[in-house]
Amino acid sequence: MFRALIVEDELFARQGLIMTTPWEAMNVEIIGAASNGKDGYDLAVRLRPDIIITDIKMPIMDGLEMIEQLSEEQDIVFIILSAFSEFSFAKRALQLGAVDYLLKPFTDESLKEAIENAKTQVERMKVLKNESKVSRDDLIGTVNRYLSKSDRSKHDNIQRVIDYIRTNYAQDLTVGSVAEYLQVSESYLSRLFRNETNYSFHEYLTVYRMKIACELLMDPSVKIYEVANAVGYKDQRYFSIVFKKYFGMSPNHFKEQH
């Protein structure tokens, strides 16, 4: 069973999530709840959940700050619940590895879909980290097998998206910018990509970037910040957080081991 923590400052919303969501049917156990990011951080350190469902705007410590601190220490998948639709919040959440950003009020179906996405991400992270203990070629082979699942789609737009990602992964790509390139709507492309590949656009982009990062890190003369920039991360710290989330070790440790 997946272990989840809820961090929400509004008492009614927090209790509503706990009491009205069919957690057991989704194979999820709520192991704790907190009313601010600081208490959420402390609970996460003690209880080590697989998934955290959190608001952004909260007293003492906000959700994004909590995510940033926990991402450096633990392997947790985050779902954001927020009344704020500002692009900067959503972008920051995705940079830190959140699998979904749900705007309040959200539907039961959208929450269920976010939970399923989070569970899938937890399982994938576990597999990749298990594989990270083997050889370099096996590790990259595992990443390639995950990416190859997307090749099964014969949909023209999906193939165009994948080709675009593989050519432009170092750029500041978003599903919106790629939808504009394809001249389709963002919502259409998001749904189509997940339905055809079983990945979100952001997840596929991240895994592909991590694959390229692994290959670049094999060169002992290349610096970590150079690898981060080469795969689309302007901030080396965020790159290291994402890399560790997928492979269970820092980029420096990976260079030393391989």
Domain with residue 184: its CATH number is 1.10.10.60
Residue with tokens 């609970």: 43
Examine the domain organization and report whether 101 and 144 are in the same domain: no
Q: How far apart are CA 122 and CA 106, in angstroms?
A: 23
Examine the domain organization and report whether 158 and 114 are in the same domain: no
Is the per-residue pLDDT at 4 higher than 60?
yes
Mean pLDDT of 144-160: 74
Is the per-residue pLDDT at 151 higher than 80?
no
Confidence of residue 142 (pLDDT cuts 50, 70, 90): low
The angle, 0 to 180 degrees and rounded to 10, between the axes of the packed helices 175-182 and 156-168 is 120
Examine the domain organization and report whether 108 and 151 are in the same domain: no
- Which tens digit of pLDDT belongs to each residue from 218-245? 888 899 999 999 999 988 888 888 887 7
Residue 90 sits in a domain whose CATH number is: 3.40.50.2300
Pick 93 or 80 by higher pLDDT: 80
Q: What's the confidence (pLDDT) of residue 95?
A: 67
In the chain, the percentage of residues whose pLDDT exceeds 90 is 38
Examine the domain organization and report whether 57 and 145 are in the same domain: no
Note whether 238 and 92 are within 8 A (CB): no
Residue with tokens 């469902």: 53
Tokens of residue 241, six digits: 């957080």
- For residue 217, the 8-state DSSP code is H
Instruction: Give the length of the chain.
Output: 258
Is the per-residue pLDDT at 104 higher than 60?
yes
Element (H, E) at 18: helix 11-20
Is the per-residue pLDDT at 155 higher than 70?
yes
Q: Which domain holds residue 74?
A: 2-124
Note whether 224 and 254 are within 8 A (CB): no
Q: What's the confidence (pLDDT) of residue 75?
A: 78
Examine the domain organization and report whether 14 and 108 are in the same domain: yes
The angle, 0 to 180 degrees and rounded to 10, between the axes of the packed helices 186-197 and 175-182 is 100
CA distances from 164 to 17, 21, 169, 192 (A): 39, 38, 8, 16
Mark which of 124, 142, 168 sits at the end of a domain. 124
Examine the domain organization and report whether 138 and 36 are in the same domain: no
| Signed CA dihedral, 153, 106, 56, 90: sign only | positive
Residue with tokens 């965020």: 238
Is the per-residue pLDDT at 135 higher than 60?
no
3-state secondary structure of 6: strand
Count of domains forming the chain = 2
Mark which of 75, 105, 124 sits at the end of a domain. 124
DSSP H helices in 198-250: 201-217, 224-230, 236-247
Confidence of residue 212 (pLDDT cuts 50, 70, 90): very high
Instruction: Indicate the range of 92-96, 214-218, 221-225 predicted with least confidence.
Output: 92-96
Examine the domain organization and report whether 136 and 253 are in the same domain: yes
What is the DSSP pairing of strand 51-54 with strand 100-103? Answer: unpaired
Which residues on adjacent β-strands are paired with residue 77?
Answer: 51
Mark which of 102, 124, 146 sits at the end of a domain. 124
Note whether 227 and 213 are within 8 A (CB): yes
Instruction: Indicate the range of 95-104, 158-167, 184-193 predicted with least confidence.
Output: 95-104
